[in-house]
């Protein structure tokens, strides 16, 4: 089954304790992206990657890191989480080729609470 | 700056009645246009997209959307609403250019369908 898998789905942590949210897709997609969803703000892009070892900042990258060492995986790293990073996080992937419209496939979301 | 507006935070409709969820956008050039749906505790799912051609596009679950270039709108419609259509709907646009394959989302509209 084609899917994007995120872990953990729910996490409560404390300020400053490093954490990683994993994302894996099995569709051989070139493009992967992280979004955060906050009430009234829709989805805002954190980082994206157009292929292995190619990553770039989205609209709200501060406080986050990413890496893309393998095509299928795109982990989101919070080196020193703060309460303003409490949010619902989504990983998404898409084909990225000429002529492709690139609708996104989303994971189920990871709800993060930073105390 | 590129933007997507969903002017209604919430739309209420009775089961069996037609529904419309509004979306307007401000993007240079001719973008790809998308609608996504989010059910409770789930990730976003792709509903439909406009690429080119016929202004009325059909998608999943009986939904359709009407593209209006002069009004820069892409309203989501369904002739007869179901209670199971109750969800959060997001309009999204993506530039056809090479600007990072970026997809911009609206803030979302919550649809309530009453039995």
pLDDT tens sequence across B16-64: 999 999 999 998 777 889 999 999 888 999 999 998 888 999 999 999 9
State whether A102 and B107 contact (CB < 8 Å).
Answer: no
Look at residue B102 in the predicted model and tell me its pLDDT.
78
3-state SS record for B56-114:
EEECHHHCEEEEECCCCEEEEEECCCCHHHCEEEEEEEECCCCCCCCEEECCCEEEEEE
B46 closest CB neighbour out of A4, A104, A109: A104
Residues 81-100, chain B, touching A (beta carbon < 8 A): 90, 94, 100
Mean pLDDT, range A74-98, rounded to an integer: 93
CA gap A105, A29 in Å, rounded: 10
Shortest distance, CA A102 to any CA of chain B (angstroms): 8
Asked whether A25 and A5 are in contact (CB, 8 A), the reply is yes
Mean pLDDT, range B5-24, rounded to an integer: 97
State whether B107 and A41 contact (CB < 8 Å).
Answer: yes
Q: How far apart are the first and last CA of chain B?
A: 41
B107 touches chain A (CB under 8 A): yes
Q: What percent of chain A has pLDDT over 70?
A: 98
Q: What is the DSSP letter of B6?
A: -
Mean pLDDT, range B75-81, rounded to an integer: 97
Chain centroid to CA A25: how far? 12
């Amino acid at each position: 089954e084609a899917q994007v898998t995120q872990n953990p789905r729910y996490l409560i942590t404390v300020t400053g304790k490093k954490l990683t949210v994993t994302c894996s897709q099995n569709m051989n997609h070139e493009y992967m992206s992280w979004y955060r969803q906050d009430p009234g703000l829709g989805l805002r892009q954190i980082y994206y990657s157009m292929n292995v070892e190619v990553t770039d900042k989205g609209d709200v990258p501060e406080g986050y890191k990413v890496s893309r060492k393998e095509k299928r995986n795109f982990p989101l790293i919070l080196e020193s989480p703060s309460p303003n990073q409490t949010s619902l996080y989504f990983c998404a992937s898409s084909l990225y080729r000429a002529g492709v419209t690139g609708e996104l496939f989303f994971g189920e979301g990871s709800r993060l609470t930073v105390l | 700056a590129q933007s997507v507006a969903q002017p209604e935070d919430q739309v209420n409709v009775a089961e069996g009645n037609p529904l419309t969820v509004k979306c307007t956008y401000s993007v240079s050039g001719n973008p790809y246009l998308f609608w996504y749906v989010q059910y409770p505790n789930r990730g976003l799912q792709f509903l439909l997209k406009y690429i080119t051609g016929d202004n009325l596009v059909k998608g999943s679950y009986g939904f359709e959307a009407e593209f209006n270039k002069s009004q820069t709108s892409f309203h989501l419609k369904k002739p007869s609403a179901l209670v199971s259509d109750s969800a959060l709907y997001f309009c999204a646009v993506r530039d056809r250019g090479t600007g990072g394959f970026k997809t911009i989302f609206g803030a979302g509209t919550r649809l309530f369908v009453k039995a």
